Amino acid sequence: MSSVTQLDKQESLPFYEPQGDEVELFMHAYKHKLPVLIKGPTGCGKTRFISYMAEKLNLPLYTVACHDDLSASDLVGRHLIGDGATVWSDGPLTRAVREGGICYLDEVVEARKDTTVVIHPLTDDRRILPIDRTGETLHAPDNFMLVVSYNPGYQNLLKGMKPSTRQRFLSMSFDYLPAPAEVEVLLNETELDRSMAERLVVLANTLRELKDQDLEEGASTRLLVYTATLISTGFDPVKACRAGMIEPLTDDPDIVAGLMELVQAAFGSFEG
């Protein structure tokens, strides 16, 4: 590959600010065909990291947002009726195993328990996907990788990942970026000026300190980017903080009012 082509490839990558050695660890996991589990709070950069690594490795990315009704069939596939015939349709996990690429199961603990049975054979040295309904047993190619994530803060007795499942994965923990790095994210993702970006990050970290007190979850980097986008396009900073950072965190009007006092202290008087 020419140096020009390498430069073009680098510039096309999604912006990602590393937190440690996660890029190197992920590269080694992919090289040695090891599955990866990523843990971290909502909006801290887990999905952006996976998108970045897929581009860096030049791999297709199959992302599945897991939820209460997600079943094994949603991942593997099912027979569909069309044009008077029954046709098998691969699910995203099956497509990734057939064609290669990263299959990313976001918030995997939200899915139904039968999904765990499906992914287990792909997380050991067999690296296979049995498809009972078609009688196939697919062997994952070298360029297939299974990645799952979840937010430990939302775990409970009904929706936790079993230790026997966790121990099938390499694991890495994500958290919100240090303030200087998070400022750089805002500068790269929006047209916000540095002084305003720094004020937003200070406010976000103040809100995060309230987690498990008044708030279930702290302000995510994603919400920071949303807020910075509003401000950088001319929207009033106080109103932008309310819409982008405060209202998404709570439905309690008293807590909203209390949090808005922090916003007012950071950005001036609030009107409306």
Indicate the domain borders of the chain: 3-173, 179-267
Rounded Cα–Cα distance for residues 259 and 272 (Å)? 15
Tell me whether residue 245 is exposed, middle or buried, using C-beta atoms within 10 angstroms of its C-beta: 0 to 12, 13 to 18, 19 or more.
buried
For 197-231, the pLDDT digits (tens) are: 999 999 999 999 887 777 888 899 999 999 999 99
For 17-50, the pLDDT digits (tens) are: 888 899 999 999 999 999 999 999 888 889 999 9
C-alpha distances in Å from residue 62, one per residue of 8, 148, 167, 170 = 24, 12, 23, 19
> Domain 3-173 class?
alpha beta
pLDDT in tens, the chain (272 residues): 433 344 344 456 788 888 889 999 999 999 999 999 999 988 888 999 999 999 999 999 999 999 999 999 999 999 898 777 889 999 999 999 999 999 999 999 899 888 888 999 999 999 999 999 899 999 999 999 999 999 887 654 456 788 888 999 999 999 999 999 999 999 999 999 999 999 999 999 999 988 777 788 889 999 999 999 999 999 999 999 999 999 999 999 999 999 999 999 988 754 44
**The tokens of 45 are what?**
């950069």
8 A C-beta contact, residue 208 and residue 187: no
**The tokens of 227 are what?**
């807020």
**The tokens of 135 are what?**
């009688």
pTM for the model stands at 0.85
The tally of CA atoms less than 13 A away on the side-chain side of residue 213 is 9
